[in-house]
Amino acid sequence: MKLQHFSIALFLGLSLGTAISVSESLIPSAAKNLMAVESALLSRPCQKALASAAVLQIASGPIRLPPSKPAPSLVTTLIFNQTSTPDHILILGFHDFGPNAKLNGMTYPEFDAYIKRAKDLGYQNLTSHKLLGFLYGKEPVKGKWIMFTFDDGYVGQFEAAKLLQGYGYSVLLGIVSNHIVAGGDSLTQAQIAEILAMGHELASHSSGHCALTLPTDDESAFLASPPGPEANCNPDVFALLNQGEIAFQLKDSKAVMEKTFRVKISAIIYPYGFYNDTVHKEALNSGYQLGFRFPNQVNRDIHSYTSAVDLPRLNVQRGSRI
Ligand SMILES: [Zn+2]
Is pLDDT above 50 for 56?
Answer: no
- How many domains does the structure of the chain reveal? 1
Most confident of 18-22, 81-85, 269-273, 282-286: 282-286
- Higher-confidence position of 314 and 13: 314
Is pLDDT above 50 for 302?
Answer: no
Q: What's the pLDDT tens digit per position in 91-141?
A: 888 989 998 887 678 999 999 999 999 999 899 999 999 988 888 777 777
Cα 153 to Cα 50: distance, rounded to the nearest angstrom = 13
- Higher-confidence position of 86 and 67: 86
Q: What's the pLDDT tens digit per position in 229-249?
A: 555 565 555 567 888 989 999
Cα 27 to Cα 249: distance, rounded to the nearest angstrom = 34
Query: Contact at 8 Å (CB) between 161 and 28?
Result: no
142 Cα to the center of ligand 1, angstroms: 31
51 Cα to the center of ligand 1, angstroms: 8
Give the residue numbers spanning the domain of 272. Answer: 2-321
- Higher-confidence position of 298 and 177: 177
Is pLDDT above 80 for 300?
Answer: no
205 Cα to the center of ligand 1, angstroms: 7
152 Cα to the center of ligand 1, angstroms: 5
| Confidence grade of residue 65 (pLDDT, cut at 50, 70, 90) | very low
By CB atoms closer than 10 A (0-12, 13-18, 19+), residue 160 is: buried
- Higher-confidence position of 299 and 110: 110
48 Cα to the center of ligand 1, angstroms: 5
Is pLDDT above 90 for 222?
Answer: no
| Confidence grade of residue 262 (pLDDT, cut at 50, 70, 90) | very high
- 100 in helix, strand or coil? coil
Is pLDDT above 80 for 224?
Answer: no
155 Cα to the center of ligand 1, angstroms: 14
- CATH code, 228: 3.20.20.370
pLDDT at 160: 98
258 Cα to the center of ligand 1, angstroms: 19
